[in-house]
Amino acid sequence: MKKIRVSIANFYKSLKLNAKLFITITLIMLTTLAFVLGGLQYAFSFYDEQLYTKSSQVLMMSSNTIEKELDRVEEVSYNIAVDPQIQRILSELQADVTGYDFHRLQQEIEDELAKYIGSENYIQSINLYDSVGREFLSGSSSHPLKKEDKNLAFIQADKYEGENHWLELVGYNGDLISARLILSYEQLSFEKIGKLLIRVNLNKIVSDLPKPQGEIAGNIVITQGNRMIFSEKEMDYLSEYTFLTKNMQGYSIENIKGERTFINHITTNFDGWTYWSIIPFDRMFAKITAAKYTLLLVFMIMFVFLITIGFTFLRKLTNPILDLATTMQEVQNGDFNVVHRLHPAIQNDDEIGILYRNFKTMIQRIDELIQENFSKQLLIKETEFRALQAQINPHFLYNTLESINWLAITRKQEQISKMVESLGHLMRNSLNFKEDIILFEEELDIVNSYLTIQKYRFDDRFDMVMDIPDYVRKYRIPKLIIQPLLENTFKHAVEPSIYTMNIKLSAFQEEDKLYIQIEDNGPGIDPLILQKVKEGLVKPRGTGIGLNNIDDRIKLYAGEHYGLRIENLSGNGTAITVVLPVRTG
C-alpha cells in the first residue's frame, strides 16, 4: 500500500501544471458536489410536493379576483341605471327630441358615462340605448358590437327585467357583455326607458392577476357547462377536450394528445362558471430539472474560481502575467519603448515566453502602423481642407436669394419675389438635416413652396386640389416624402401634356395606418411595365430611382408592411399611394 501511495505521489509530481490543477480541483469539487446534490435533492423533492397545493391556491385566488372585478362592473351597471341625471335625460328622450336639444342631451349623457368608465380599468366601452334604440357610447373597442350580439343582449336585458345578465361575445376570446334593462324610478312608474350594455375585457383581468409562480398557475380556462368561455393561452388540444366535472373542486393527471397534463378545477356560484388550471406536466418538471442543473453549474463555476485564486503555486504563473499587464498599461499611455524592459521570462520557451515575444512583436508593428497612419491622416486633413475651400457657403446662397427678392420687391416684380421666396424656403428645408421626422403640416409648407414655383412655370396647365383633414396635419411623417412624388407627377403628366392636368393630393386614416395619395389624369403607365415593376422584374428609370429611394426610406422607418403603391386609375391617370403608420410623437 505504501508503494502504491509513493507511485501515485511521483506520478502527480511529474504531471504538467494544468494536469495538477485539473486533478486537485476535481477531487475537491467531487467531494463538495456530493453534499450539494444531497441538499438540492431534498429541497426540490419538498418543492414538488407543494405544487399540487399551490396550484389549487392560485386557482382559488384567481377565481375570487376575477369575480370581484366582475362584481365591480355589475355595481357600475347598477349605478348607471339608477343615476338621477341619466334617468332624467332618458326620460326627456322619450319625447320627440331632435336638432340642438338632442345634441345637448347626447353630450350630457356621454359626459355622465365618461365619469363611470374613467375609474374602471377593465371596461372597454359603455353602450347606452334609449327607448327608440339610439346609441350613446363612452370608451372604445377595436371591434364594435355586431348587430346579432346587440340584439341578443337586448333580449336578455328584457328577460331579466332590470337585473344584470352576463353574455360572452362569440368569436372574441375574453370579451363579456353586461346587459341590463333601465327602468324609470320617477314616481315608481318602472317604465322601460333604455338598455345598458357594458363590454368587459376578461383577458386583461386575467393578465393582471398576481402570479408569483407562473408555472403553477398554468393556463386558466373558464367554462360554463361543457362550453369554453375563455382560455388565457391558445392550446390546440383543448378544443378536443371535454370539460366535465363530477365534483365542485378537484384535480387529475390526464394524457391529452400524448402529453401528460395536470388539470385542476373549481366551480363557483358565479353564473355556473368553472375555473380550470391546465399545466403541461412534463414541461413543468422539465423546467424544475433545468433549474437544478443550472444551480449545480453555477456552484461548480464559482467553486472552481474560489479554489483557483487560493492556490499558492499559481503565483509563478500570475507574477509574469502581472508584469505583462503593467507593461500593457504603459503602452496604453503611449510609451512603446517599455517593451525593451520586459521581465527575463521572455527568454523561456513556455506559454509565458511565447506570449511575451508575441506581445513585443505586436507593439512594434502597432508603432509602425501608427506612424504610417499619422502620415495618411495629414494627407486626408489637407485634402478635406481643400474640399471645404471649394464648397459654396449655403448662407451666402440664402443671402443672395434674399437680395434678389429685395430687388424684385423694389421693382414691383411680384412673380419673381414669390418664386425666390418659395425657392429659398424649399432649399432651406431640403438642406436642413437636423430633423428627419416632421409634422404633416410642415411637409405641406414645403409642398406649397414647390407648387408656387410650378404655378409660375406652367401657369394654367395644371389644377391642384388638396383634401387634407385637420387631424392628419399633426401626424409625424418622414421629411421630403410628398414633394418628390409631386415632382414625379409634373415630369410624367404635366410637362408632356398640352392640356390642363388635374392633380389631387389627399390623406386619410384607416385604423393605425395613414394613407397619402397623389392622383393625376395623365397618360398613366403601361400595364405590362407596371406589372413587371411590382414583381421586381424591372427597375423604373429616371425619377423611378427617387421613388425607390422613398420606398426604401419608408420601409427603414416603419417596416416592410409600409411603402409606396403605384396604380393606374380606371380611366386615364396614375395614383401613387404612400402607406405610413399613424404617429403623433
pLDDT at 534: 58
Amino acid at 255: N
The DSSP H or E segment spanning 150 is: helix 147-160
- Cβ–Cβ < 8 Å for 180, 164: yes
Are 162 and 32 contained in the same domain? yes
Are 493 and 358 contained in the same domain? no
Local structure of 378: helix, strand or coil:
helix
> C-alpha cell of 359?
506581445
For 490-548, what is each residue's pLDDT tens digit? 888 888 888 888 999 999 999 999 999 999 988 877 777 666 655 555 555 444 446 77
Amino acid at 94: Q
Residue 12, domain member (yes or no): no
pLDDT at 318: 58
- Cβ–Cβ < 8 Å for 478, 437: yes
DSSP designation for 342: -
Are 365 and 471 contained in the same domain? no
DSSP designation for 432: -
Residue 138, domain member (yes or no): yes
Are 202 and 75 contained in the same domain? yes
Are 340 and 264 contained in the same domain? no
Residue 424, domain member (yes or no): no
Question: Mutual orientation of helices 544-558 and 482-489 as an angle, nearest 10°?
Answer: 160
Classify each residue of 28-61 as buried b or exposed e, where b means 16 or more C-beta atoms within 10 Å of its C-beta: ebeeeeeeeeeebeeebeeeeeebeeebbebbbe
Q: Spell out the residues 6+ positions from residue 160 whose beta carbon is closer than 8 angstroms to its own.
A: 179, 180, 181
Are 181 and 44 contained in the same domain? yes
User: Pairing mode, if any, of strands 501-510 and 462-467?
Assistant: parallel
Q: Which of 361, 388, 415 is the last residue of a domain?
A: 388
Residue 91, domain member (yes or no): yes
Nearest-angstrom CA–CA distance, 123 and 139: 8
pLDDT at 330: 73
Q: How many helices (H) and strands (E) does the chain have?
A: 16, 17
Are 130 and 245 contained in the same domain? yes
pLDDT at 389: 42
Are 272 and 347 contained in the same domain? no
| DSSP bridge pairs for 504 | 465, 519
- In which residue are the cell numbers 497612419 written? 373
CA distances from 503 to 98, 422, 485 (A): 41, 20, 12
Nearest-angstrom CA–CA distance, 347 and 242: 80
pLDDT at 126: 86
pLDDT at 510: 92
Are 325 and 251 contained in the same domain? no
Q: Which of 255, 289, 323 is the last residue of a domain?
A: 289
Task: Give the closest residue to 110 by CA, choosing from 75, 131, 140.
Answer: 140
Q: What number of other Cβ atoms are within 10 A of residue 14's Cβ?
A: 9
Task: Give the closest residue to 141 by CA, choosing from 201, 197, 71.
Answer: 201
Nearest-angstrom CA–CA distance, 39 and 120: 48
For 192-201, what is each residue's pLDDT tens digit? 888 888 888 8
Are 282 and 331 contained in the same domain? no
Q: Which of 256, 289, 322 is the last residue of a domain?
A: 289
The CATH number covering residue 545 comes to 3.30.565.10
Report how many domains make up the chain.
3
pLDDT at 388: 43
Nearest-angstrom CA–CA distance, 563 and 560: 7
pLDDT at 103: 87
Are 336 and 206 contained in the same domain? no
- In which residue are the cell numbers 503593467 written? 326
Predicted TM-score (pTM) of the model is 0.43
pLDDT at 571: 66
Residue 577, domain member (yes or no): yes
Nearest-angstrom CA–CA distance, 281 and 275: 18
Count CA atoms closer than 13 A to 37's CA, side-chain side. 8
DSSP designation for 491: I
The CATH number covering residue 80 comes to 3.30.450.20
pLDDT at 544: 42
CA distances from 203 to 20, 106, 208, 233, 337 (A): 60, 31, 9, 10, 70
* Residues lower than pLDDT 50 in the chain: 214, 345, 385-392, 395-396, 541-545
Amino acid at 400: T
Nearest-angstrom CA–CA distance, 138 and 390: 64
Residue 243, domain member (yes or no): yes
Residue 437, domain member (yes or no): no
Are 232 and 149 contained in the same domain? yes
Nearest-angstrom CA–CA distance, 299 and 472: 59
Residue 231, domain member (yes or no): yes
| DSSP bridge pairs for 251 | 264
Domain containing residue 470: 459-581
